Amino acid sequence: MAIIDNNLSLRNRNKMLVGVWEDEDKLIEATSELVHAGVKIHDVYTPYPVHGLDRIINARRSWLSIVAFLCGMTGFALAFWMIYYMYVQDWPVDVGNKPVRFTPSWVPVLFEATVLCTAFGMGFFFFLRNRMIWGIQPELLDDRQTDDRMIITVETGDHVDENQVLKIMKAHGAVELRERIAGVQTAL
Protein backbone atom coordinates (compact mmCIF):
# COMPACT_ATOMS: atom_id res chain seq x y z
CA MET A 1 0.00 0.00 0.00
CA ALA A 2 1.33 3.39 -0.93
CA ILE A 3 1.42 6.39 1.35
CA ILE A 4 -1.18 8.15 -0.86
CA ASP A 5 -4.22 5.88 -1.15
CA ASN A 6 -5.68 6.49 -4.60
CA ASN A 7 -8.60 4.16 -3.83
CA LEU A 8 -10.09 6.96 -1.73
CA SER A 9 -9.77 9.50 -4.52
CA LEU A 10 -13.00 10.89 -5.95
CA ARG A 11 -11.43 11.34 -9.35
CA ASN A 12 -12.15 8.73 -12.02
CA ARG A 13 -15.38 7.59 -10.35
CA ASN A 14 -18.25 6.93 -12.71
CA LYS A 15 -21.35 7.41 -10.57
CA MET A 16 -21.79 8.04 -6.87
CA LEU A 17 -24.71 8.75 -4.57
CA VAL A 18 -24.03 11.46 -1.99
CA GLY A 19 -26.03 12.04 1.19
CA VAL A 20 -25.57 15.07 3.46
CA TRP A 21 -26.39 15.10 7.20
CA GLU A 22 -26.41 17.73 9.94
CA ASP A 23 -26.65 15.36 12.93
CA GLU A 24 -23.98 12.75 13.73
CA ASP A 25 -26.45 10.38 15.45
CA LYS A 26 -28.59 10.22 12.30
CA LEU A 27 -25.42 9.76 10.25
CA ILE A 28 -24.39 6.76 12.37
CA GLU A 29 -27.90 5.25 12.07
CA ALA A 30 -27.88 5.68 8.29
CA THR A 31 -24.38 4.25 7.97
CA SER A 32 -25.30 1.20 10.07
CA GLU A 33 -28.48 0.65 8.05
CA LEU A 34 -26.61 0.91 4.74
CA VAL A 35 -23.94 -1.55 5.89
CA HIS A 36 -26.58 -4.00 7.16
CA ALA A 37 -28.36 -3.73 3.80
CA GLY A 38 -25.14 -4.89 2.11
CA VAL A 39 -24.24 -1.56 0.53
CA LYS A 40 -20.51 -0.86 0.22
CA ILE A 41 -19.86 2.67 1.43
CA HIS A 42 -17.07 4.42 -0.45
CA ASP A 43 -16.26 6.87 2.36
CA VAL A 44 -17.75 9.10 5.05
CA TYR A 45 -16.58 12.71 5.35
CA THR A 46 -17.00 14.52 8.67
CA PRO A 47 -15.54 17.81 9.94
CA TYR A 48 -14.62 16.16 13.27
CA PRO A 49 -14.06 12.58 14.44
CA VAL A 50 -17.27 10.61 14.93
CA HIS A 51 -16.49 7.81 17.35
CA GLY A 52 -17.38 4.31 16.21
CA LEU A 53 -17.87 5.30 12.58
CA ASP A 54 -14.61 3.65 11.46
CA ARG A 55 -15.78 0.30 12.88
CA ILE A 56 -19.16 0.59 11.20
CA ILE A 57 -17.73 1.18 7.72
CA ASN A 58 -14.91 -1.29 8.42
CA ALA A 59 -12.13 1.20 7.65
CA ARG A 60 -8.58 -0.10 7.62
CA ARG A 61 -6.19 1.06 10.29
CA SER A 62 -3.85 3.84 9.23
CA TRP A 63 -0.18 3.14 8.59
CA LEU A 64 0.82 6.44 10.18
CA SER A 65 1.70 4.78 13.50
CA ILE A 66 4.21 2.55 11.72
CA VAL A 67 5.59 5.57 9.87
CA ALA A 68 5.90 7.39 13.22
CA PHE A 69 7.88 4.49 14.68
CA LEU A 70 10.20 4.40 11.65
CA CYS A 71 10.74 8.18 11.82
CA GLY A 72 11.53 7.91 15.53
CA MET A 73 14.00 5.09 14.95
CA THR A 74 15.64 7.12 12.19
CA GLY A 75 16.05 10.07 14.56
CA PHE A 76 17.46 7.82 17.27
CA ALA A 77 19.92 6.17 14.88
CA LEU A 78 21.08 9.49 13.42
CA ALA A 79 21.59 11.02 16.86
CA PHE A 80 23.42 7.92 18.11
CA TRP A 81 25.70 7.94 15.06
CA MET A 82 26.35 11.69 15.45
CA ILE A 83 27.15 11.46 19.18
CA TYR A 84 29.28 8.38 18.78
CA TYR A 85 31.25 9.92 15.95
CA MET A 86 31.82 13.25 17.72
CA TYR A 87 32.44 11.86 21.22
CA VAL A 88 34.34 8.64 20.47
CA GLN A 89 35.89 8.87 16.98
CA ASP A 90 36.47 12.49 16.11
CA TRP A 91 37.37 14.16 19.41
CA PRO A 92 37.67 11.73 22.34
CA VAL A 93 38.21 13.76 25.49
CA ASP A 94 38.75 12.17 28.90
CA VAL A 95 36.68 14.36 31.22
CA GLY A 96 36.76 13.41 34.88
CA ASN A 97 38.03 9.92 34.06
CA LYS A 98 34.63 9.01 32.54
CA PRO A 99 34.48 6.29 29.89
CA VAL A 100 34.49 7.41 26.26
CA ARG A 101 31.76 4.96 25.24
CA PHE A 102 28.03 5.37 25.97
CA THR A 103 27.23 7.47 29.01
CA PRO A 104 23.91 8.53 30.55
CA SER A 105 24.55 12.05 29.29
CA TRP A 106 23.67 10.82 25.80
CA VAL A 107 20.07 9.98 26.81
CA PRO A 108 18.54 13.50 26.61
CA VAL A 109 20.05 14.13 23.19
CA LEU A 110 18.89 10.75 21.88
CA PHE A 111 15.39 11.35 23.25
CA GLU A 112 15.07 14.84 21.79
CA ALA A 113 16.38 13.73 18.37
CA THR A 114 13.87 10.87 18.37
CA VAL A 115 10.99 13.22 19.18
CA LEU A 116 12.15 15.81 16.64
CA CYS A 117 12.38 13.34 13.75
CA THR A 118 9.06 11.75 14.71
CA ALA A 119 7.29 15.11 14.78
CA PHE A 120 8.70 16.34 11.47
CA GLY A 121 8.21 12.96 9.80
CA MET A 122 4.61 12.68 10.98
CA GLY A 123 3.85 16.20 9.82
CA PHE A 124 5.32 15.51 6.37
CA PHE A 125 3.63 12.11 5.90
CA PHE A 126 0.31 13.36 7.29
CA PHE A 127 0.17 16.12 4.68
CA LEU A 128 1.33 13.72 1.97
CA ARG A 129 -1.22 11.03 2.90
CA ASN A 130 -4.12 13.46 3.05
CA ARG A 131 -3.21 15.08 -0.27
CA MET A 132 -2.62 18.48 1.36
CA ILE A 133 0.59 19.29 -0.48
CA TRP A 134 0.90 22.48 -2.49
CA GLY A 135 -0.39 22.04 -6.02
CA ILE A 136 -2.87 19.23 -5.33
CA GLN A 137 -6.46 20.33 -5.78
CA PRO A 138 -8.77 19.41 -2.87
CA GLU A 139 -11.51 16.88 -3.52
CA LEU A 140 -14.47 18.39 -1.72
CA LEU A 141 -17.98 17.16 -2.35
CA ASP A 142 -19.38 20.14 -0.49
CA ASP A 143 -17.65 23.19 0.97
CA ARG A 144 -19.56 22.66 4.21
CA GLN A 145 -18.02 19.21 4.82
CA THR A 146 -15.13 20.91 6.60
CA ASP A 147 -17.45 23.03 8.72
CA ASP A 148 -20.78 21.56 9.82
CA ARG A 149 -22.01 18.86 7.39
CA MET A 150 -21.34 15.13 7.26
CA ILE A 151 -21.37 13.23 3.97
CA ILE A 152 -21.76 9.58 2.97
CA THR A 153 -20.70 8.52 -0.52
CA VAL A 154 -21.77 5.25 -2.13
CA GLU A 155 -20.26 4.21 -5.43
CA THR A 156 -22.95 2.69 -7.61
CA GLY A 157 -22.56 -0.21 -9.95
CA ASP A 158 -24.37 -3.31 -11.15
CA HIS A 159 -24.87 -4.74 -7.65
CA VAL A 160 -26.19 -1.56 -5.98
CA ASP A 161 -29.92 -0.80 -5.83
CA GLU A 162 -29.88 3.00 -6.06
CA ASN A 163 -33.52 3.40 -5.00
CA GLN A 164 -32.90 1.39 -1.83
CA VAL A 165 -29.81 3.45 -0.98
CA LEU A 166 -31.66 6.74 -1.50
CA LYS A 167 -34.64 5.47 0.51
CA ILE A 168 -32.41 4.50 3.46
CA MET A 169 -30.58 7.82 3.34
CA LYS A 170 -33.82 9.83 3.26
CA ALA A 171 -35.40 7.73 6.02
CA HIS A 172 -32.47 8.40 8.34
CA GLY A 173 -32.46 12.17 8.07
CA ALA A 174 -30.39 13.15 5.05
CA VAL A 175 -30.95 16.85 4.44
CA GLU A 176 -29.64 16.64 0.86
CA LEU A 177 -29.31 13.82 -1.65
CA ARG A 178 -27.14 14.18 -4.73
CA GLU A 179 -25.93 12.17 -7.65
CA ARG A 180 -22.36 12.65 -8.84
CA ILE A 181 -21.57 11.50 -12.37
CA ALA A 182 -18.03 12.06 -13.67
CA GLY A 183 -17.43 14.90 -11.21
CA VAL A 184 -20.71 16.75 -11.84
CA GLN A 185 -23.24 16.80 -8.99
CA THR A 186 -26.98 17.09 -9.39
CA ALA A 187 -29.56 17.32 -6.60
CA LEU A 188 -32.11 14.53 -6.33
The model's pLDDT over 119-137, given as tens digits with 9 standing for 90+, comes to 999 999 888 877 777 777 7
Express each pLDDT in 82-126 by its tens digit. Answer: 999 988 888 887 777 777 777 788 899 999 999 999 999 999 988
Report whether 177 contacts 170 (CB < 8 A).
Answer: yes
Dist CA 101 CA 17 (whole Å): 64
**Residue 106 CA to chain centroid, in angstroms?**
35
> Does residue 1 surpass a pLDDT of 50?
no
Q: Which residues of 152-166 are buried (b: 16+ CB within 10 A; e: fewer)?
A: bbbbbeeebeeeebb
pLDDT computed for residue 43 by the predictor: 85
CA distances from 63 to 56, 111, 135, 138 (A): 19, 23, 24, 22
pLDDT in tens, 29-86: 999 999 998 888 888 888 888 898 889 988 888 788 899 999 999 999 999 999 999 8
The larger pLDDT score, comparing residue 119 to residue 16, is at 119
Vertex 107 angle, CA 101 and 108, to 5°: 135
> Cβ of 66: how many Cβ atoms within 10 Å?
10
Domains of the chain: 14-58+140-187 (3.30.70.260), 64-129 (no CATH)
pTM assigned to the model: 0.69
